[in-house]
Structure 1
Amino acid sequence: MASGGLKQGIAPGRLDAGQYAANFADLHPPLDRHEAYVEADRCYFCYDAPCMNACPTTIDIPLFIREIATGNPLGAAETIFEQNILGGMCARVCPTEQLCEEACVREEAEGKPVKIGMLQRYATDIAMRDNVQFFERPEPTGKSVAVVGAGPAGLAAAHRLATKGHSVVIFDARPKAGGLNEYGIASYKSTDGFAQAEVDYVTAIGGIEIVHGQVLGQDMTLPRLQETYDAVFLGIGLGGVNALRAQNESAQGVANAVDFIAELRQSSDLAALPVGRRVVVIGGGMTAVDAAVQSKLLGAEEVTMVYRRGKEHMGASAFEQDLAAAKGVTIRHWMAPRRVLADGAGVTGIELAYTHLVDGNLLETGETVILMADQVFKAIGQTLATDGDGAERAGGKIMVDAEGRTSLPGVWAGGDCATGGDDLTVTAVAEGRDAAESMHRFLMGGSNG
């Protein structure tokens, strides 16, 4: 219930003060010891481990679950971190229902998989809480590496390089490290400053320096980095936002969903964040769901997600779609934005065209509808923000080979900015880790060809 009654337009303080904390509490409270033991006991410890094959970082899932079951959560954490140093965050944000848990034999047999993500969080939380370090930096090799971007790919690459004895400097544009883990996910998925705690945990190995406020192409150039360092890793993410391609999309009240999520993530007073009474989110991916659900949690009365294709085509997982619906978000399919309606005070609505597929092509039917709105969020994908690095592109991303090597000598890339990924945190971690192994071979006398 809004503390100030009905508030038109975009306004803060739509809820009673105490409701914000409840709305943005941890989406999945952690397992306690007994719950973890009971859940671990459900694992069949499969020899061929389909869950492990489904994990982009190939964590030995049966092993770490057995370690939990035998009272050794720190051993489980070590097993996880050996493959995925950001295993704590991945346990929170991975679409496990589409990855390891979907492949779980329990899922196949009875429709109820082992809660692999929750067990992973149980083990990694204990290790991080007690600051148990499983890696030591060896004698320095004398080699230095520049990592551009302190997101999941960059942090994973930096940590793996540090375990080899190389010195790493991470350059990041933002005032905090973490990338999308810090700025780009819903607050209820990662609470209590976990993203920064994880950065501290990762960099505790030593040999990693983070320099903030550095934008590639402005404060530094790739040729200069190539001259200064023995190798370079690009984990710059996707900083640009696709246009709606709708009339009047620059009207006051139209914003990028990623900016809204970042502002919310960094806010110290959720009651001060303005949100519309009627909100429309354009898009069908995870970002769209995060923006829509959090708009509702901030007190928006009506929130509608609009997607140009069908439910089965949405980038958001079935769990995320169900979460949105459970929080009161309406999801409408087969609609594409045509025109933003606005007056002198800002957005008043949005005109949408109905769409359908004809011979595999998405076309408008000729019918339109207007949804009333005072706030519109764009969540229709992101693009590479820089074009001055000189690396070969494909599909709007930096082209890389199977080892993460770009077309430039001594330069690797991974994460959302590079080809071949699926825009998941866990995939970015795998790509950063594997690129670091390739970089290590190069630095120790191998080739980049």
Structure 2
Amino acid sequence: MATAHFKEGIAGERLSPAEYADNFSDLHPPLDHHEALVESDRCYFCYDAPCMNACPTSIDIPLFIRQISTGNPLGSAKTIFDQNILGGMCARVCPTETLCEEVCVREIAEGKPVQIGRLQRYATDIAMEENKQFYPRAASTGRTVAVVGAGPAGLAAAHRLARHGHDVTVLDARAKAGGLNEYGIAAYKSVDDFAQAEVDYVTAIGGIDIQNGKALGVDYQLADLVRDYDAVFLGMGLGGVNALRAEGEGADGVANAVDFIAELRQASDLGSLPVGRRVVVIGGGMTAIDAAVQSKLLGAEEVTICYRRGQEHMNASEFEQDLAAANGVTIRHWLQPKRVIADGGKVSGIELEYTALTGETLAGTGETITLIADQVFKAIGQSFVPGALNGSGAAIELDGGRIKVDAEGRTSMAKVWAGGDCVVDGREDLTVSAVAAGRDAAESIHRMLVG
């Protein structure tokens, strides 16, 4: 990574245009034809393959890899899309190192798994580049379904419902469809506007009308949808950001990491994005890693992640932690924010307290440390904002602050299903898990609609 140009405080244009382009190039360049054949030949095509069991969408991984090895990438793509219509993005952003590749027999035997994610990208990219549509719509059923949220769960549900011949209207509060795929993923993981290309591919099946700038609870109410449509799927994700609960966190220079990532993803000129010289990120998950790494790639000189527990407790995978370290990010553990220090209303540092576990209880030790910082990012998790549901009389039951659903994604309100990050269903908050939830809920809706 290039050395940042010296600029005090939070500023843009720390690097040259060429340096920005290099820093934000594709993290995992696609395999070419020869590389894909060589890599697919490493697969043992296991019977009762552990990799398939580890995939939240249950893709038949040995089959799609065998299809690549026999020169049939379109057949491979169909095998993937049968289970996961957003297989292209999942190939780029899935933490495969903790899912399919972690249990790969090659990983267990040799410490080098088959590169399942990159093989999945190889096949799906070919199908999308050729706009190969595998699923003609069924005859129209005359039934209508409203989908709230055009993120992974909503898009997966919309596509599966359209396949069955239902007419789907997707309502999304943002200017673009895609949800976290468009706004919440590190730019170097999804280049060349891939999120929008995938939205176009998904909606090419027909029967899906996406309406942007339509927010639940503002532009329409849930009761309106229940009245006007035969079924409703809620896939609006998480809209709230948890507070630091530290003194002075309202100072200028303290920002939400998710907002920072969204702004970066939508920027046409990376040099216009202001970043501090010394950045501190509070959190231990994927968002914290993404915010920290991208701060460094934008030209920050020092970036430190502070997490309140130990390395073994971090939600970010070992690969992501290593990626941060490789980009010059320092990760410090057993520290929680206590006070944001401001000079003239602007962040100049942050005081943190050391923590320790006593049994299962985490508590501060009373010992503190102060880090110099001109920018602090909050990445300590998001929360569901249920206020938008109140227009229907808040009839939907919540559990732990999120929507409660049964095994098929049904909520407590008739005709309403939900899936993705906004629900409590035992799945991890991952793109691939949201796809599975949307797909499964769509099948349940379909069964209801056809009686």
Shorter chain as denominator, the TM-score bin is over 0.9
Closer, same or farther: CA 283–190 of 1 in aligned 2, 3 Å: same
Tell me, in whole angstroms, the C-alpha distance in 2 between the residues paired with 1:192 and 1:10: 27
Tell me, in whole angstroms, the C-alpha distance in 2 between the residues paired with 1:387 and 1:409: 19
Aligned to 1:275, the other structure's residue is in SS state coil
Amino acid at match of 1:348: S
Deviation at 1:345, TM superposition (A): 5.3
Residues 45 and 63 of structure 2 are in contact (CA less than 8 Å); yes or no, is this contact kept in structure 1?
yes
Residues 420 and 438 of structure 2 are in contact (CA less than 8 Å); yes or no, is this contact kept in structure 1?
yes
Matched, 1:223 2:229: no
Matched, 1:392 2:397: yes
Taking only the aligned residue pairs, the percentage that are identical comes to 73
Aligned to 1:369, the other structure's residue is in SS state strand
Runs of 4+ aligned structure 1 residues displaced above 3 Å come to none
1:128-177 Cα deviation digits (max 9, x unpaired): 01111101111110100000000000000000000000000000000000
Residues 350 and 371 of structure 2 are in contact (CA less than 8 Å); yes or no, is this contact kept in structure 1?
yes
Partner of 1:7: 7
Aligned to 1:435, the other structure's residue is in SS state helix
1:345-367 Cα deviation digits (max 9, x unpaired): 51000000000101210000110
Tell me, in whole angstroms, the C-alpha distance in 2 between the residues paired with 1:103 and 1:359: 31
Matched, 1:428 2:428: no
Tell me, in whole angstroms, the C-alpha distance in 1 between the residues paired with 2:175 and 2:409: 27
Residues 410 and 418 of structure 2 are in contact (CA less than 8 Å); yes or no, is this contact kept in structure 1?
yes
Q: How does 1:105-184 map to 2 (within 5 A)?
A: 105-184=105-184
Matched, 1:187 2:187: yes
Tell me, in whole angstroms, the C-alpha distance in 1 between the residues paired with 2:3 and 2:272: 13
**1:403 paired residue among 386, 402, 408:** 408
1:384-420 Cα deviation digits (max 9, x unpaired): 1232422111111101111011111010000000112
Matched, 1:291 2:297: no
Q: How does 1:38-437 map to 2 (within 5 A)?
A: 38-344=38-344, 346-389=346-389, 390=394, 391-420=396-425, 421-437=427-443
Amino acid at match of 1:400: V
Tell me, in whole angstroms, the C-alpha distance in 2 between the residues paired with 1:219 and 1:345: 36
1:186-212 Cα deviation digits (max 9, x unpaired): 000000000000000000000000001
Tell me, in whole angstroms, the C-alpha distance in 2 between the residues paired with 1:271 and 1:52: 42
Amino acid at match of 1:419: V
Amino acid at match of 1:413: A
Tell me, in whole angstroms, the C-alpha distance in 2 between the residues paired with 1:374 and 1:246: 16
Aligned to 1:58, the other structure's residue is in SS state coil
Residues 411 and 418 of structure 2 are in contact (CA less than 8 Å); yes or no, is this contact kept in structure 1?
yes
Residues 308 and 336 of structure 1 are in contact (CA less than 8 Å); yes or no, is this contact kept in structure 2?
yes
Aligned to 1:220, the other structure's residue is in SS state coil
TM-score scaled to structure 2, two decimals? 0.97
Deviation at 1:301, TM superposition (A): 0.1
Deviation at 1:2, TM superposition (A): 5.8
Tell me, in whole angstroms, the C-alpha distance in 2 between the residues paired with 1:194 and 1:293: 20
Tell me, in whole angstroms, the C-alpha distance in 2 between the residues paired with 1:198 and 1:48: 31
Aligned to 1:102, the other structure's residue is in SS state coil
Aligned to 1:337, the other structure's residue is in SS state strand
Deviation at 1:291, TM superposition (A): 0.2
1:20-60 Cα deviation digits (max 9, x unpaired): 00000000000000000000000000011110000000000
Query: How many residues are treated as equivalent by the alignment?
Result: 444
Amino acid at match of 1:280: V
TM-score scaled to structure 1, two decimals? 0.98
Deviation at 1:182, TM superposition (A): 0.1
Tell me, in whole angstroms, the C-alpha distance in 2 between the residues paired with 1:378 and 1:92: 25
Residues 251 and 345 of structure 2 are in contact (CA less than 8 Å); yes or no, is this contact kept in structure 1?
no
Tell me, in whole angstroms, the C-alpha distance in 1 between the residues paired with 2:252 and 2:29: 38
Question: What root-mean-square deviation, in Å, do the aligned CA atoms of Structure 1 and Structure 2 show?
Answer: 0.8
Residues 216 and 386 of structure 1 are in contact (CA less than 8 Å); yes or no, is this contact kept in structure 2?
no
